[in-house]
Structure 1
Amino acid sequence: MELQHEFTVPVPVGEAWPALLDIERVAPCLPGAAVAEYDGKTVTGSVKVKVGPVTVTYRGTAVFEEQDEAAHRMVLVASGRETRGQGTARATVTAELTGRDGGTAVSVRTDLTVTGRPAQFGRGVLAEVGDRLVSQFADCLAQRLTEPAPATEERPGEEATATAGPAEPEPLDLLHAAGLPVAKRAAALAAALAALTVVVLRLRRRDRSRHGRRRR
């Protein structure tokens, strides 16, 4: 499926471009994502996705196939596989940056293929989830780009925190991210099943009534 999104950040293109390529900096803005290694072109990491009571972890890589600084255009190809299942996920993400009113407009086109449990939601719900996640990502990125640079001085206890390693990210909750639309669909499905049950019961009662009359 193909998804199209656009968001803006309140900094010029010259600042937004290197920020989006700074994977360690933007990864915390992606729910469920954790970066294990990045060499400037290939990212190795994982993404945790929660579907109801089930949490699915994908491990894989993402490779920058294109980084056109002059055109401010990048192409990222990511693929992963469930650590405890047969599900897979693959995405080709194309982003283009354009200056707009002193800030930067980011247009993102995603060609997404998902198999396994998250695929049960279908295109409509995944598109709604994508809209919410892009909005959340844009807000987080804007905050990181406008906040002061962190101090380089070592603070007490900083070394102990560093050796402890990065905190484990919270999984991306698809039901929570989709919000009301999923709840409406679930309610509609429940109503349809209830209606079907009522019809079946009525048919059975009629059938029993007919059999009773014939016996008389």
Structure 2
Amino acid sequence: MELHHEFTVPVPVDEAWRTLLDIERVAPCMPGASVEEYDGKTVSGAVKVKVGPITVTYKGSAVFEEQDETAHRMVLIAGGRETHGQGTARATLTGTLEERDGGTAVSVHTDLTVTGRPAQFGRGVMAEVGDRLVGQFAACLSEQLTPPPPDAPVAEEEPEAPLDLLRAAGVPVAKRAAAVVAAVVGVLVVARVRRWRRTGRK
């Protein structure tokens, strides 16, 4: 699945480049993501994804395959696996930055492969979710890059919440995805009832 997103941030391209490479700074802007370790090239961490009543946690790592400061181009290869399940997620992200009207235009091309429960949503839903998440990320990043007023209160850091796919997708997409979630829950319930019958439990 290939996805493409663009957003702008209100700072010159060199400053935007340094900020986007500051993984520990930008990670809180991505819903559900947490960074455990970063050595300047490899990032280790986790992403929590909530699909209706089900929460899936992926743990894995991402490696910067390319960081071209002159061209302002970066390539990040990421991969993760469910901590309780067989699902996997792999992505190659190619980002390019370009100065535009005093700010920076950021273009991100993602080649994404997902297996397991979130994959049931299909490309259309995942693309819409991606659009919303990139919008949230860009707004958060822009807020970080904009100096606060001198008398502004310091915001307290909140615990990381899982990425809620249904909420991120919005009501129309959530209605389409509800059937998938219901089917997944139904399969789990049927499997549990069958297991109880085999073991003689009531």
TM-score band, normalised by the shorter chain?
0.7 to 0.9
Cα contact 1:125–1:181 (8 A) shared by 2: no
| Structure 1, gaps ≥5 residues long | 149-160, 190-216
Amino acid at match of 2:20: L
Report deviation, 1:133. Answer: 0.2
Give the fraction of aligned pairs with identical amino acids, expressed as a percent: 78
**What residue number does 1:99 align with?**
99
Give 1:181 deviation, angstroms: 2.6
Residues 2-23 of structure 1: CA deviation (Å, up to 9, x unaligned): 0000000000001100000000
Residue of structure 2 in register with 1:134 after alignment: 134
Secondary structure, counterpart of 1:147 in structure 2: coil
1:28 lines up with 2:19 in the alignment: no
Match of 1:196 in 2: none
Counterpart AA for 1:49: V
CA distance in 1, matches of 2:107, 2:166: 26
Q: 1:27 to 1:120 in 2, by over 3 A?
A: same
SS of 2:161's equivalent in the other structure is coil
Structure 1 pair 38/95, CA: closer, same or farther in 2 (3 Å)?
same
In the TM superposition, residue 146 of structure 1 has moved relative to its aligned partner by 1.2
- Higher percent of residues as helix: 1
- Show CA shifts across 1:42-80 (max 9, x none): 000000000010100000000000000000000000000
Which piece of structure 1 moves more, 2-11 or 178-187?
178-187
Tell me the CA shift for residue 37 of structure 1: 0.3
Give the structure 2 partner of residue 125 of structure 1: 125
Secondary structure, in 3 states, of the residue corresponding to 1:118?
Answer: helix
Report the counterpart of residue 8 of structure 2 in structure 1.
8
Count of matched residue positions in the alignment of Structure 1 and Structure 2: 175
Q: 2:69 matched to 1:65? A: no
Q: SS where residue 58 of structure 1 aligns?
A: strand
1:180 to 162, 171, 179: 171
Q: CA deviation at 1:184?
A: 4.3
What is residue 46 of structure 1 aligned with on the other side? 46
SS at match of 2:85: coil
RMSD: 2.1
Give the deviation of 1:185 after TM superposition.
2.4
Tell me: CA distance 1:183–1:46, structure 2 relative to 1, closer, same or farther (3 Å): closer
Contact 1:95 / 1:107 at 8 angstroms: preserved in 2? yes
Between the aligned partners of 1:136 and 1:186, the Cα distance in structure 2 is: 21
Q: For the residues of structure 1 that align with 2:175 and 2:51, how far apart are their CA atoms?
A: 17
What's the CA shift for 1:147? 2.4
Offset at residue 180 of structure 1 (A): 2.2
- Letter aligned with residue 65 of structure 1: E
The equivalent residue for 1:170 is 161
Alignment partner, residue 111 of structure 1: 111
Match of 1:92, SS state, is: strand
Structure 1 segments of 4 or more deviating over 2 A? 183-187
TM-score when normalising by structure 1: 0.77
Instruction: State the match for 1:89 in structure 2.
Output: 89
What TM-score do the two structures reach when normalised by structure 2? 0.82
